[in-house]
Amino acid sequence: MIKTKLVGFERVLPSLSVTNDDLAKLVDTSDEWISSRTGIRARHITTDQNTSDLCIGTAKKLLEKAGWESESVDMIIVGTVTPDYSTPSTACMVQAALGCVNAMCFDISAACSGFIYSLSVADKFIKSKTVKRAIVLGAETLSKITDWTDRTTCVLFADGAGGVLVEAADEGGILYEDIHSDGSKGSSLVAGYRQNENPYYKGEAKSRGYIEMNGRDIFAFATRMVPRSIKAVLENTDVGADEIKYFVLHQANKRINELIARKLKVSEDKFYSNIDHTGNTSGGSIPIALAEMNEKGLLKKGDKIILSGFGGGLTWGTMLIEL
Contacting residues toward ligand ACO, per CB under 6 A: 29, 33-34, 37-38, 112, 151-152, 155-156, 189, 213, 215-216, 218-219, 252-253, 255, 280, 310-311
Count Cα neighbours of 82 within 13 Å in the Cβ-side half-sphere.
Answer: 31
> Could you tell me the smallest distance in angstroms from the CB atom of residue 79 to ligand ACO?
13
Q: Could you tell me if 78 and 38 are in contact, meaning their C-beta atoms sit under 8 angstroms apart?
A: no
Helix (H, G, I), strand (E, B), or coil: what is residue 162? strand
Nearer to ligand ACO, 29 or 102 (CB): 29
Nearer to ligand ACO, 34 or 76 (CB): 34
> Could you tell me the smallest distance in angstroms from the CB atom of residue 8 to ligand ACO?
25
| Burial profile 20-44: b = 16 or more Cβ within 10 angstroms, e = fewer | beebbeeeebebeebbeebbbbbbb
Nearer to ligand ACO, 33 or 176 (CB): 33
Cα distance between residue 296 and residue 276, in whole Å: 17
Helices 90-98/51-66 angle, 10° precision: 50
**Catalytic, out of 112, 154, 253, 257:** 112
Helix boundaries (H) for 133-284: 151-154, 215-237, 254-264, 275-278
The span from the first CA to the last CA of the chain, in angstroms, equals 17
Cα distance between residue 202 and residue 102, in whole Å: 44
Nearer to ligand ACO, 230 or 323 (CB): 230
Cα distance between residue 174 and residue 284, in whole Å: 19
> Could you tell me the smallest distance in angstroms from the CB atom of residue 95 to ligand ACO?
28
Sign of the four-CA dihedral 307, 83, 9, 121: positive
Nearer to ligand ACO, 42 or 189 (CB): 189
Is residue 250 annotated as part of the catalytic site, yes or no?
Answer: yes
Is residue 112 annotated as part of the catalytic site, yes or no?
Answer: yes
> Could you tell me the smallest distance in angstroms from the CB atom of residue 251 to ligand ACO?
8
Cα distance between residue 177 and residue 120, in whole Å: 8
Report the residue closest to ligand ACO, judged by CB: 215
> Could you tell me the smallest distance in angstroms from the CB atom of residue 275 to ligand ACO?
9
How many residues are listed for the chain in this entry? 323
> Could you tell me the smallest distance in angstroms from the CB atom of residue 166 to ligand ACO?
24
**Catalytic, out of 100, 250, 257, 294:** 250
Cα distance between residue 288 and residue 272, in whole Å: 11
Nearer to ligand ACO, 4 or 253 (CB): 253
List the catalytic residues: 112, 250, 280
